[in-house]
Structure 1
Amino acid sequence: MSIVIRDVREHELDSILALNNAAGPSILPLDASRLKRFFDAAEYFRVAERDGNLTGFLIGFGSNFGHDSSNFRWFREHHEAFFYIDRIVVASRRRGGGVGRAFYADVQSYAEVRYPLLACEVFIEHDNDPARLFHGSFGFHEVGQHVMPETGVRASMLTKELCSYTWVRDHYGDDLPDMPWLRRARQAAAPAQRSTGT
């Protein structure tokens, strides 16, 4: 069956919380209140369905967001503008089945008309070779390392240049055509909300 990527719905947050906290040491745990703040304010918060079942999610923020993650702050200190993938989680039974690739194709199509860089991190200490290989196959490369003060975990900081961004900015500036695929993934992510932080 095909993979469907769509915006998250509020009634799915309990399932997403369970999926996140079952993902293992490569994903930081969440509590319900923080996940609800992400739901209210994230610029991009989408889920994957396969065979009618929730199989994963991806949460992302633009560089102007007031995110309290030390990894996000690291990117803010090193790059002027970027789109940050805070987390991607795929259910263990679905890993290797194309869900992650579908998410990255979707988030790139969203980000590349708005930001010059796609940014994320992969934890180094947790034998994350599959994750590093996955990101490398998408054109990400390491631009530094960062030890998260809140956990002591070392992360490989990755970016990917979004080559379409310059052409889009040169031709459209901030006035993108009003087309469904160009609209914000989350209409609720108004600038005032994004500036409040999480």
Structure 2
Amino acid sequence: MTVADLEGAGAALLALNNAHARELSWLTADRLAALVGEAFAARRVGLADALLIAFDQDAAYDSPNFLWFRDRYDRFVYVDRIVVAEAARGRGLARALYLDLFAAAKAAGHARVVCEVNADPPNPASDAFHAALGFVEVGTAAFEGGKAVRYFERAV
């Protein structure tokens, strides 16, 4: 997906993201377009059934979670956000997006895909999903305001 692909889907993808801002972070339309433009991979299913945005280590991205990985790994693909609309859940869309990302990362010569999962507030569904995909914990971080995350990686 490119910034041009947001035409016609941008408002729906923005609404999908922002409906899950507690887990993902709130975006403006301009910020979503900037993320997609910088992404190693940006994929959607349907108009806005599911969305995945991932960056490689060379991205100009200021997320403290992304920077945690960049401080530790020379090469990686970082999943910044993945979300599935409530009405589209249970159809394997997130798994399909991840499998596509694993293949793209491997084809580009990457050895790992990384991500974080909220520990506080907890996200047990995401914990179970990532464990089923073979992710293993490699670190933790706590942030101002009480938010905490666990960092994960999966070899590809």
TM (normalized to structure 1)?
0.72
Any runs of at least 4 consecutive aligned residues in structure 1 with deviations exceeding 4 A, and if so which?
none
- After superposition, the C-alpha distances for 1:129-182 in whole angstroms (9 at most, x for unaligned) are 110110001110100001245x642111000112xxxxxxxxxxxxxxxxxxxx
Give the distance between the partners of 2:84 and 2:15, measured in 1 at CA: 12
Query: What is the Cα deviation at residue 24 of structure 1?
Result: 5.0
| CA contact 1:71–1:148 (8 Å) conserved in 2 | no
Gapped runs of 5+ residues in structure 1? 1-6, 163-198
What is aligned with 1:47? 44
| SS of corresponding position for 1:67 | coil
What is aligned with 1:182? none
CA RMSD, 1 decimal: 1.5
The aligned length equals: 152
Higher relative contact order (CA 8 A, sep 6+): 1
User: Which of residues 143, 149, 152 is equivalent to 1:155?
Assistant: 149
- After superposition, the C-alpha distances for 1:85-124 in whole angstroms (9 at most, x for unaligned) are 1100100122222111111111111111221110001011
What is aligned with 2:96? 102
Give the distance between the partners of 1:96 and 1:33, measured in 2 at CA: 30
What is aligned with 2:31? 34
Give the distance between the partners of 2:21 and 2:34, measured in 1 at CA: 22
Give the distance between the partners of 1:148 and 1:81, measured in 2 at CA: 25
Give the distance between the partners of 1:31 and 1:152, measured in 2 at CA: 24
Give the distance between the partners of 2:86 and 2:152, measured in 1 at CA: 23
Which has the larger Rg?
1
Correspondence 1:22 to 2:16 = no
Cα 1:97/1:126, change in 2 over 3 Å: farther
Give the distance between the partners of 1:54 and 1:20, measured in 2 at CA: 9
| SS of corresponding position for 1:26 | helix
| CA contact 1:56–1:89 (8 Å) conserved in 2 | yes
More deviation, 80-89/16-25: 16-25
Counterpart residue type for residue 40 of structure 1: G
What is aligned with 2:123? 128
User: Which of residues 77, 83, 90 is equivalent to 2:84?
Assistant: 90
Counterpart residue type for residue 132 of structure 1: D
Give the distance between the partners of 1:118 and 1:43, measured in 2 at CA: 12
Between Structure 1 and Structure 2, the one with more helix by share is 2
| CA contact 1:141–1:160 (8 Å) conserved in 2 | yes
Percent identical among aligned pairs is: 33
